[in-house]
Amino acid sequence: MISGFYKLVDGKPVKGTIMEYARFVSSDERLVKQTTVNDILISTVFLGIANGLSGGKPLLWETMIFRGGRGCELVRATSKKKALRNHYLMKGQLLRVLKRGH
């Protein structure tokens, strides 16, 4: 359920119109972090659309693992700090799996 459109102003999410959201998500500002391990991409972005709530807060950030160009695992967060934590946790999990040879 989409509960609103957002953009970042001074690094903080602010509700906006659909047109403000469209301008924002077409910019590079939405990218938080990308890491490539072998041919696997871990990408963390500011979504700009609240696709759900966690504890009453919109889930505006997403970290996703892409293998072969397809998303295969994702987690959403309510803040940039939590999204970056998720990014590093997913990277650590991926490195452990690759080390085991799977």
Average pLDDT over residues 28-35: 93
- Is the pLDDT confidence value at 1 over 60? no
- Is the pLDDT confidence value at 2 over 70? no
Confidence at residue 60, expressed as pLDDT on a 0 to 100 scale: 94
Please state the domain extents for the chain: 5-100
Confidence at residue 102, expressed as pLDDT on a 0 to 100 scale: 58
Contact 37, 30 (CB under 8 A): no
Confidence at residue 65, expressed as pLDDT on a 0 to 100 scale: 94
What are the pLDDT digits (tens) for 35-88? Answer: 999 999 999 999 998 877 777 789 999 999 998 878 788 999 999 999 999 999
Q: Count of CB atoms within 10 A of residue 4's CB?
A: 14
Band the pLDDT of 4: cuts 50, 70, 90: confident
- Measured CA distances, 96 to 2, 24, 33, 54, 92 (Å): 35, 35, 20, 28, 6
Contact 33, 87 (CB under 8 A): yes
- Is the pLDDT confidence value at 19 over 70? yes
Average pLDDT over residues 81-97: 95
